[in-house]
């Protein structure tokens, strides 16, 4: 395999998903480069021209000239051929179902609140951002409700074993409390699932 470089931001759940996938699959990341997104280091002309025209991290660099952005795409690349991706056709589709749920329902609420409250600070947010807080709080709680119900009858999200669905959802769920709004004790099945993921033999924490 070509050399792999993870271009990331510190304490980013999306970047962490890629790092956790690498750990769980035993894949070596040859280099990790960390950017300060608050200082807009991923918005420089050179970054936009050569690494990711969308100006975001994570980006998985494969060899010298291939750059793969989007966390779930990068995680899928690393997990291809591993036990994190089910071989059963339906289970693979169910894995993708939860990965899409994470990006379109879960992450826009929980991750965004965590950033605004825990990193940017509400006092530094725009009026539009402040006005979005109640809606995002409601949406984040609803997403956790969906997860809570699903986990009432199983240990993991698909096939009763760890898949990329768990990796994708774990990234921001296990730090949801950093938003100041989501205490996982209110969602005990989700809380216990987080502990199961943390108990995996090759688990690595977010950095």
pLDDT of 83-99, one tens digit each? 999 999 999 999 999 99
User: How far is CA 180 from each of CA 12, 96, 108, 118, 141, rounded to the nearest angstrom?
Assistant: 17, 29, 16, 8, 12
Nearest to 175 by CA among 200, 205, 145, 203: 205
Q: What is the pLDDT averaged over residues 169-187? A: 97
Residue 136 pLDDT > 80, yes or no? yes
CB-based burial, 176-189: b 16+ in 10 Å, e otherwise: bebbebbebeebeb
Residue 155 pLDDT > 80, yes or no? yes
How much is the pLDDT for 105?
Answer: 98
How much is the pLDDT for 133?
Answer: 96
Identify the structural domains of the chain with CATH numbers, from first to last: 4-79 (3.40.30.10), 89-198 (1.20.1050.10)
How much is the pLDDT for 169?
Answer: 99
Structure tokens at 154: 């199983």
Q: What is the pTM of this model?
A: 0.96
Q: Quickly tell me which residue has 């969308």 as its tokens.
A: 54
How much is the pLDDT for 184?
Answer: 98
Residues linked to residue 35 through DSSP beta bridges, in sequence order = 9
Residue 73 CA, chain-centre distance (Å), reads: 11
How much is the pLDDT for 41?
Answer: 98
Q: Quickly tell me which residue has 């660099």 as its tokens.
A: 61
Contact 134, 141 (CB under 8 A): no
Residue 173 pLDDT > 90, yes or no? yes
Q: Provide the pLDDT confidence category of residue 147 given band limits of 50, 70 and 90.
A: very high
Average pLDDT in the chain:
97
Cα torsion at 134, 140, 146, 147 (round to 10°)? -160
Residue 53 pLDDT > 80, yes or no? yes
Q: What is the pLDDT averaged over residues 31-38? A: 95
Ramachandran assignment for 62, one of left (phi > 0), alpha (psi -120 to 50 degrees), beta (any other): beta
How much is the pLDDT for 38?
Answer: 85
How much is the pLDDT for 88?
Answer: 98
């Amino acid at each position: 395999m070509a050399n792999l470089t993870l271009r990331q931001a510190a304490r980013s759940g999306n970047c962490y998903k890629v790092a956790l996938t690498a750990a769980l699959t035993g894949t070596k990341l040859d280099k990790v480069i960390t950017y300060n997104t608050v200082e807009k280091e991923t918005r420089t002309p050179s970054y936009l021209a050569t690494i990711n025209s969308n100006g975001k991290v994570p980006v998985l660099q494969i060899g010298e000239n291939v750059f793969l952005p989007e966390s779930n795409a990068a995680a899928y690349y690393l997990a291809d051929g591993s036990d994190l991706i089910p071989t059963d056709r339906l289970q693979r589709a169910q894995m993708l179902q939860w990965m899409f749920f994470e990006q379109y329902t879960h992450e826009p609420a929980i991750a965004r609140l965590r950033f605004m409250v825990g990193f940017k600070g509400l006092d530094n947010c725009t009026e539009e951002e402040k006005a979005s807080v109640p809606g995002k709080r409601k949406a984040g709680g609803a997403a956790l409700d969906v997860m809570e119900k699903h986990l009432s009858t199983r240990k993991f999200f698909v096939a009763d074993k760890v898949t990329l669905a768990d990796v994708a959802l774990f990234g921001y769920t296990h730090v949801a409390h950093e938003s100041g709004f989501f205490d996982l004790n209110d969602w005990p099945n989700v809380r216990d699932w987080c502990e199961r993921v943390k108990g995996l033999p090759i688990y690595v924490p977010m950095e």
